[in-house]
Amino acid sequence: MNVAQNPLLPGVFQGREKLVVLAPHPDDESLGCGALLARSFAGAGAHVICLTDGSASHTGSRQWTPERLARQRQAEMVAAIECLGGSARDLTWLGMTDSRLFQADATEVAVRLEQIIDGHGARHVFVPAAEDHHEDHQATAGFADALRNRRPEWSFYSYPVWCRWDDPDFRQTAARYAPVSVPQGGLRDRKRAAIHAHRSQLGRVVTDDPSGFTLPSGFIEKFVTEDEIFWRMP
């Protein structure tokens, strides 16, 4: 039984209801929600809001200034969304400072997010799990919590990225929230292509920063081959 035929899954997972994905950085949307987005772009529609400019991934590079890297990462994100069936119109780029989201005022950010989401007519919001160990992921979850207080009628779902990779107790962690496991079905190739569109995070763009960020070996395969996982934001 494919996802669209599974009566146990809410319509938002079947592409029948509009959704918004909050991505702390360019690539989180493809890793955690690539198949979900592809299904939604082909159905009711989706929108991605990227909070940071992604400019802190290679701070040791002299060739790639933060401004230049931010432009590269924005272009990569558009390419990733196109791989999933969307377009540049399906992306809102907030351009906040990478690795500094904790300094932002949660209420002000929530107001801005509310306006964007309202403008797209979505009522389902997907948010990085607060259990992720990256401060930007945790801050984004905090913004979503402030937004949920403003719009309690909306549905908020968490999607794990880093905790799914580096938390040895992830199964127990996720089990507390009764997670929904959503097969990727025939969308796996689209998701893989979207992840690979983020070339700067794969060591294919910045060549003068050996200490710069690169997705760990085996990381991409894990997210491409396994089901996507979501749970109601606690």
* % of the chain beyond a pLDDT of 90: 95
CA angle 214, 38, 119 (to 5 degrees): 100
- Rounded to whole angstroms, the Cα distance separating 72 from 53 reads 10
**pLDDT band, very low/low/confident/very high, at 99 (cuts 50, 70, 90):** very high
What was the pLDDT predicted at 217? 85
Q: What is the DSSP string of 109-150?
A: HHHHHHHHHHHTT--EEEEE-TTSSSHHHHHHHHHHHHHHHH
**pLDDT band, very low/low/confident/very high, at 167 (cuts 50, 70, 90):** very high
Mean pLDDT of the chain: 96
What was the pLDDT predicted at 133? 95
User: pTM for the complete prediction?
Assistant: 0.97
Question: What is the residue extent of each domain of the chain?
Answer: 15-232
For the segment 184-209, the average pLDDT, to the nearest whole number, is 97
3-state secondary structure (DSSP) of residue 101 = helix
Residues 6+ apart with CB under 8 A from 8: none
For the segment 153-163, the average pLDDT, to the nearest whole number, is 98
For the segment 167-184, the average pLDDT, to the nearest whole number, is 97
> Would you state the torsion angle of the CA atoms of residues 212, 160, 163, 225, taken in this order, to the nearest 10 degrees?
-80
> Which CATH number applies to 15-232?
3.40.50.10320
- Rounded to whole angstroms, the Cα distance separating 166 from 133 reads 9
How far the first Cα of the chain sits from its last, in Å, is: 29
* % of the chain beyond a pLDDT of 70: 98
What was the pLDDT predicted at 96? 98
In Å, how far are 95, 167, 207 from 55, measured between CA atoms? 9, 26, 15
In Å, how far are 37, 49, 130, 160, 200 from 134, measured between CA atoms? 23, 18, 9, 11, 19
For the segment 210-228, the average pLDDT, to the nearest whole number, is 96
